Chains A and B, each alone.
Chain A
Amino acid sequence: MSESNRTYEGVLQVVIKHLEDNLEDKPKAPITAASNLVKELNLDSLQSFEMVADLEDHYEISIRLDELQDVETVAEVARIVHAQIQAQA
């Protein structure tokens, strides 16, 4: 994996790509950093678990589920993943 993918911006793009590939209902507006996972993207709990598992595999990190409890937007997911990449670097 190239280094650029491990920057915050790179992680954000990976999260967005995951959502674009996996969402059942295609969102009307393009997915952005500010998109709300539940209110706008209709992500249900199983899908969010799946997203976390995919991101863990992609970056070879491990994310505790309680770290994600307050997450509402795409950007917040990216921030947590990015922080975890740095912590485990």
Chain B
Amino acid sequence: MSDKTVVTVTVNGEEQEALIEPRLLLVHLIRETLHLTGTHIGCDTSSCGACTVLLDGRPVKSCTVLAVQANGREVTTVEGLEGPDGLHPVQEGFKEEHGLQCGYCTPGMMMTSVALLAENPNPSEQEIREAISGNLCRCTGYVNIVKAVQYAAAKEGATA
């Protein structure tokens, strides 16, 4: 396990270089090496989606991706959502619609929602529910998460 390797990953627009064990999971690179702790870990079977980040714009469960697989690619985490103009519409939607309670699943849930809206700017309720079905939330019952995504879709639609 001593043969370390260098990876270069662009995280939230900033190029990061790290010397890592080849087996290091992307989620641990993000949390432990880069200290971006907004991405959470909720299971060990790739079931819960708390660790969801965007890899080249597509949502991945970062507990199921090796950090070396992200070499030379772009990762966006929850910390990268807010821009110079303020909160991302999805972040705003989660707050406005009470789409979170304990907040633990929220970053992963938001990243999946961001990816959904990029692909489908005006999803139906059923499409939203299917898109987030790989992200578990134990607190909200999903009703307000659906509303949060709809809020973001409406807001993005209005400003597009």
Q: Do A and B come from one complex?
A: no
B positions within 8 Å CB-CB of A: none
A positions within 8 Å CB-CB of B: none
